[in-house]
Chain A
C-alpha cells in the first residue's frame, strides 16, 4: 500500500458514505479498489471504543466488594449506581468518580465521620469510589409553602451546623444535593465533594468535560466565584440562595452564561422576597451578604433563628396560655398572625419537628398534660447531678417550673392524672423506689407506694400509666416471687393488684388504651430486656384481665417508649434493634397491620409522650459520643479516631500499621472497624453476628481478630474473623456468657471472661478448637499474657487492682493497686495502664516499671475516659477512649398523625 493508493481509497470511501449507490461508478474498473472500500464500508457501523472514554459499569459488575445493580444517575463528579455491599450485605449508593483526586477522597473520608439524620452517611471511600447510604428521595425543587420551607431549611441548617462543628465544609450546597424523602426528611449529599472552583475553571469546566455542563454557579458564594478558599460562611451564603429559592421559586442569581451568573453572584442583590415574615427575609438577607465578614458567621445561629421562627408558628392558638407565653407571643404578633392566616387556608398541616428544650444535661421522660399545652419531664442539668421533675408550657420561651427538690433522683413522670391536676413520678431512694404524686403546680408530695424495682436497663425506661378513670397507676416492677410483672397501684387507699407475670424478664412500659379496655406493654424474654416485644392484654370494666396477653409486634428489640394514639387505633413505640444502632419510632395498627416508621422523628428516639388533644408527640433525643485519642511519647495528645458517633476500645495490629476498634459510626450497631495507624482509611470489618460487636484483639501473626458479640438472648460470645474480612467463626458456646478475648503470645489460645461458674473468671480455649479451661479462681475479667507468655495479668472490677498468676500454676498475687476501666497493657519492661487522677473525671496514663517496681505518670488526662488501652509495638504511642459530653433534649412533633 502506498500513500497515493491510500488517498484514493479514502476519497472513494468518503464519497461512498454520502452516495453509496455511486460506488461502482467511482471505482471504474478497479475491482481491487472496490473490494477495499466495500470491506471498510462493512465495518463502518462497528465501534472502536477509546480505552480512555468513560465507561459505565454494567449490572453484575464488581467494584471492590460492591456488586453493581443499576445506574441511578450521573453528575459532574461521577456516576452513581445502586449496588450491593457483598461483604456487609446491605444496599449502597456507589458514586464512581470520573476523576480521581486525592483531595476529594480525603474530604469524603472526613465527611464519613459525620453522622446526622439529615446527612447521607458515607460508608466507605475506595480508590475511585464512594459508597454511601442509599436514600429514596427526590432533590429539592421549586417554591414551597412557608411551613415546609421552614421545616426543610431547619433540617438543612441542623446538618450543616453539625458538619461545621466537625470541621467539614460542604462547598457545593445546591438543590440537587438536597434530597427529600417521601415523609419529609431532608438528606444532604456530597459533603466536600465539590471542586475548588475558580472563575477560570468554572468557565472552562462548564464548557468541557464530555460536553456536559458541570453544575451551575448560581449557588456559589462570591468568594468561591473569585477563586478564594471556601469556609463555613460560604456554605451559609449558598444556604441563603437555596432558602431564597424555596421561598420564592426563583433563583437568586441568574444570567445567560456562566460568566453573567457569576457576575450576578458577585455584584447584584436578588429581588426582595414577597409574602414572607420580615424576620425570615432579614435572615435570608444576612445569609446573602457579599462580604463574608458581614454575613451571619455561624450555621448554629441560622439554625437557632429558623427554630425560633418555627416555634413562633408552633405556639398554641387557643386554650390556656400562660402569661410567659402570652408575653412572648405579643413580641412576635405580626409574624404569628401571618402564620395563623396561612394555616387557616391549608386543609391538613404537615408533620414537622421542632426542638422543645435544649438545656445542658439530660431532659428525659416527657409527658403531656391532658390538653397538650404543657409538658412535664425530668432534667438533671440545673446545677444538680440528680434528676428533678419540671413543667414547661409548650411554645413558651420561659424557663420551666421545677416541681421537686431534694437529693434523690426523680424520674418517669406519668401523664397528668386524667383531670390534669396531679403528676405521678418515681423517686429513687437508697434501697428502693417510691411512686409519688405532686400537684402540677408544685407543692407537697404524697407517697403512693414503694416499688421493689423499676426497669431501668441501659437507660431505657419503665414508666407509669394512669387508668383513664384516674383510679389506678400501672407500673412494671419486680414481683415478690423473683419474676417481673405489671402491677396496678391504687391511687386511693386499697389493695395493689397484679396484672401480668413474666418469670424470665421484665414486663414494663405499661400503657392503658384511651378507652381503658386494654393495656399494652413490653415483655422481654431475658433479664437484660433485649429482644423484647409488645403485648396486649384485654381488660374488663374493673380492669380485670380477660384472657391471656397476646403478642402484637415482631421486633425483638430494646424498647424505649410505648403509647397509644388518641383514637386507640395505633400503638406507637420506639425500638432499637442493636446496641449503638438507631432507635426508631414506629406506628403499628392494633388490628395487626405492618408497622410504619415515623421517619421525621429521626434515629435517636428516647421515651416519648403523645397528647390526646392537639396532635402532638414529644420525645427525648439522645446523643452520645466517644472518640479514640492518641498519646505520643513526646507528650502530645490528640484525637485520632472521631466521628459524631462513638469509637472505642482500640488495639494496634502486631506490626503497628493498623488499628482495630469498635464503632457505630455508620449509623448501625457497634461493629468492629479497622483503620490505618494515622486514623485514615477506616473500614468496617464486621456486620453482626450479634446486636453489638466489641473488644477487638489481633492474633500475634496479625491474621485474625477475636471480638465479642452480644446475642439476642443477652449472652455475649467470642468470635474470630479474618482481619481481611470474611464470615466470623464462633469460639465459645451459645448457652453461656463470654467476652473480652485476648490471645496467648504463641497464638494458640484465646483467653476470655466467662460467668459459667456463676462468677466472672478468666478462661481460655484453644484457637484450633477444643474445650475451655478455667484459669483464674478468685475472679477475673480483662486479661493479657505477659510478654514472655509465662504469666497472666488480669483485672477484675471496673476500677480494680491488677492481679497476676503464673500460667505454670500457683496462686494469685496483686501487682498494681488501681487500674481504671480495666485498661492495661503488659510489655517486656513493665505494664502500661490507666490510673485515677486527683479529681473525678481525671485520669493518668501510667507505666509500671518491672525493674524499679515503681509506676510513673506519662500524661494526665482531664476528661472522662472509657474502655480500652492500646500501646504501639514501638512503644511510642498509646491509644485510649475519651467520652465527650452527651445529652438528651426534648423534641416536639407538631400535627402528628
Chain B
C-alpha cells in the first residue's frame, strides 16, 4: 500500500466535502487493506484470543493516511467507513464459521469459547438490517459502536451529530438488540 497514502487523504477530504463518488473509490482501497489486516487476526486466532479490529482500524488508518497529516475530521470519517467494512468482514467471517460448523458436524475447536459471539454477530447483523430500515442514523450508530468498536465521541464525530444523540440512540438500540437477541435464544 505504498501508493494510496496520499490518495486516501485526498479521497477522505472529498468525502468530507460531500462527494459520494469519492466514497465509492475510497471503500475498495480501505477494504483491501482491512481485509488483509483482518486476515492476520482472524486466521490465527485461537480460543481465548481477542478480535480487536478497533486497533486494526486504527492501524489501517495509520498505514493508509499516516504519511499525511490527516485532520481529526478525516479520521472520524475514515473510522465510519472502516466500521461499515468491518461489519462486512465480521459477518462474512461468522457466516463462514457457522457453515463450517454445520458441514463438519463436529466440534470446531477454533470456535470454542467464541462461538456464542459468532452467533451474536450474525443476529446483530440481521437485526441491524431491519433497524436501518426504521432509522438509518440509529443503524449507523450501531454499526460504528458495535462493529467498528468506536467510542461515543468518535461515532459522533464521524456522523456529525452530538455525543448526546449518539448516547441516546445507542442506549435504545442496545436495549432493542438485546431484546431481539434473547427472543432468538441468544444471550
Q: Which residues of A contact B (CB under 8 A)?
A: 1-3, 6-7, 9-10, 13-14, 17, 39-44, 46-48, 50-55, 57, 61-64, 96, 98-102, 127-128, 198, 200-201, 204, 208-211
Specify which of B86, B151, B171 is in contact with A52 (CB 8 Å cutoff): B86
Q: Which residues of B contact A200 (CB under 8 A)?
A: 66-69
Instruction: List 28 A-B pairs, Cβ < 8 Å.
Output: A10-B135, A10-B138, A10-B172, A40-B172, A43-B175, A43-B176, A48-B177, A48-B181, A50-B147, A50-B149, A53-B52, A54-B50, A61-B48, A63-B46, A99-B55, A99-B56, A99-B58, A99-B59, A100-B40, A100-B41, A127-B46, A128-B45, A198-B66, A200-B69, A201-B66, A204-B75, A209-B58, A210-B151
B62 in contact (CB, < 8 A): yes
Q: Is the CB of A55 within 8 A of B50?
A: yes
Q: Which residues of A contact B84 (CB under 8 A)?
A: none
Docked Cα-Cα span, A421 to B146, in Å, equals: 83
A44-B171, A48-B178, A127-B46 are known contacts. Are A208 and B58 too (CB-CB below 8 A)? yes
Tell me how many residue pairs across A and B have CB atoms closer than 8 Å: 122
Is B148 close to A, CB under 8 A?
A: yes
Shortest Cβ distance from residue B146 to the other chain A in the assembled complex, whole angstroms: 5
Q: Mark B132-174, 1 if CB is under 8 A from A, else 0.
A: 0111001000000111110100000000000000001101101
B90 proximal to A (CB < 8 A):
yes
Which residues on the B side are within 8 Å of A63 (C-beta)? Answer: 46, 48-49
Q: State how many angstroms separate the Cβ of B109 from the closest Cβ of chain A.
A: 12
Check: B47 CB closer than 8 A to any chain A CB.
yes
Q: Evaluate whether A17 and B179 lie within 8 angstroms (CB atoms) in the complex, with A51-B51, A98-B52 already known.
A: no
How many chain B residues touch the partner (CB < 8 A)? Answer: 50
Contacts of A211 in B (CB 8 A): 151
Given contacts A99-B55, A204-B75, whether A14 and B172 have CB atoms under 8 Å apart is yes
Q: Which residues of chain A are near B145, meaning CB under 8 Å? A: 50
Instruction: Report the minimal beta-carbon distance from B86 to chain A, rounded to whole angstroms.
Output: 7
Instruction: Chain A residues near B56: list those with CB within 8 A.
Output: 52, 99
Known contacts A40-B172, A52-B147, A52-B148: A46-B86 contact under CB 8 Å: no
Say yes or no: B176 contacts A40, CB within 8 Å. Answer: yes
Note all chain B residues with C-beta closer than 8 A to A7. Answer: 135
CA distance A209 to B56 in the complex (A): 11
- Name the residue among A13, A46, A50, A57 with the largest chain B CB count within 10 angstroms: A50
Which residues of the other chain, B, contact A47 by a CB distance below 8 angstroms?
A: 174
Given A40-B179, A51-B120, A6 and B135 touching (CB < 8 A)?
yes
- CB <8 Å contact, B117 and A13: no
User: Residues of B at under 8 Å CB distance from A?
Assistant: 40-41, 44-56, 58-59, 62, 66-69, 75, 86, 90, 117, 120-121, 124, 133-135, 138, 145-149, 151, 168-169, 171-172, 174-179, 181
B47, B59, B171: most-surrounded residue (chain A CB, <10 A): B171
B50 and A44: CB pair below 8 A? no
Q: How far is the CA of A40 from the CA of B182 in the complex (A)?
A: 13
Distance (whole angstroms) from the CB of B134 to the closest CB of chain A = 4
Contact B49–A128 (Cβ < 8 Å): yes
Which A residues are in CB contact (< 8 Å) with B54? 50, 52-54, 210
B149 x A53 contact (CB < 8 A): yes
A48-B50 contact, Cβ under 8 Å, with A17-B171, A200-B69, A201-B66: no
Cβ–Cβ contact B40 & A52, under 8 A: no
Chain B residue with the shortest CB-CB distance to A195: B62
Choice from B75, B117, B121, B175 contacting A41 with Cβ under 8 Å: B175
Apart from A14-B168, A62-B48, A96-B50, 13 more pairs, CB < 8 Å: A9-B172, A13-B172, A40-B172, A43-B174, A44-B174, A44-B175, A48-B174, A50-B54, A54-B52, A63-B48, A102-B40, A128-B45, A201-B66
Bound: A102/B43 CA distance, A: 14
Closest to A58 in B: B48
Say yes or no: A52 contacts B46, CB within 8 Å.
no
Q: Kindly state the separation between the CA atoms of A98 and B68 in the bound complex, as whole angstroms.
A: 24
Residue of chain A at shortest CB distance from B118: A51
Chain A residues in 8 Å Cβ range of B177: 48
Whether the Cβ atoms of A43 and B178 lie closer than 8 Å is yes
Contact A57 B66 (CB under 8 A): no
Q: Are B46 and A3 in contact (CB under 8 A)?
A: no
- Given A40-B179, A62-B47, check contact A52 B168 (CB 8 Å): no
- Chain A residues lying within 8 Å of B49, measured Cβ to Cβ, are 63, 127-128
Q: Which residues of A contact B69 (CB under 8 A)?
A: 200
Cα A44 to Cα B172 with chains together (Å): 7
Instruction: State A13–B54 Cα separation when bound (angstroms).
Output: 29
Chain A: which residue is nearest B171 at the CB level? A44
User: When the two chains form their complex, are residues A52 and B52 in contact, meaning their CB atoms are under 8 A apart?
Assistant: yes
Q: Which residues of A contact B52 (CB under 8 A)?
A: 52-54, 98-99
Q: A40-B179, A201-B62 are in contact. Are A48 and B146 (CB under 8 A)?
A: yes
- Neighbouring A residues of B121 by C-beta, 8 Å: 51
Query: Assuming the A-B contacts A48-B178, A50-B149, are A204 and B62 also in contact, with contact meaning beta carbons closer than 8 angstroms in the complex?
Result: yes
Minimal Cβ-Cβ distance residue in A for B44: A127
Q: Which residue of chain B has its CB nearest to the CB of A41?
A: B175
Interface core residue of A53, A101, A209 (most chain B CB under 10 Å): A53
CB distance from B152 to the nearest CB of A (A): 10
State the CA gap A1–B127 with chains docked (Å).
13
CB-CB under 8 A from B75, the residues of chain A are 204
Smallest Cβ distance from B142 to chain A, in angstroms?
9
CB nearest to A96 among chain B residues:
B50
Cα distance A361–B152 in the bound complex, in angstroms: 65
User: What chain A residues lie within 8 Å of B58 (beta carbons)?
Assistant: 99, 208-209
**C-alpha gap A381/B63 in the complex (Å):** 54
Expressed in whole angstroms, the Cα–Cα distance for A44 and B145 within the complex equals 16
A13 vs B121: C-alpha distance when bound (angstroms)? 25
* B179 and A50 contacting across the interface, CB-CB below 8 Å: no
Inter-subunit contact A98/B55 (CB<8 Å): yes
Min CB gap A791→B, angstroms: 45
Question: Contacts A62-B48, A201-B62, A208-B58 given: A3-B133 contact, CB under 8 Å?
Answer: yes
Chain B, Cβ-Cβ closest to A64: B46
Task: Name the residue on A nearest B164 (C-beta).
Answer: A14
Is A52 in contact with B178, judged by CB distance below 8 angstroms? no
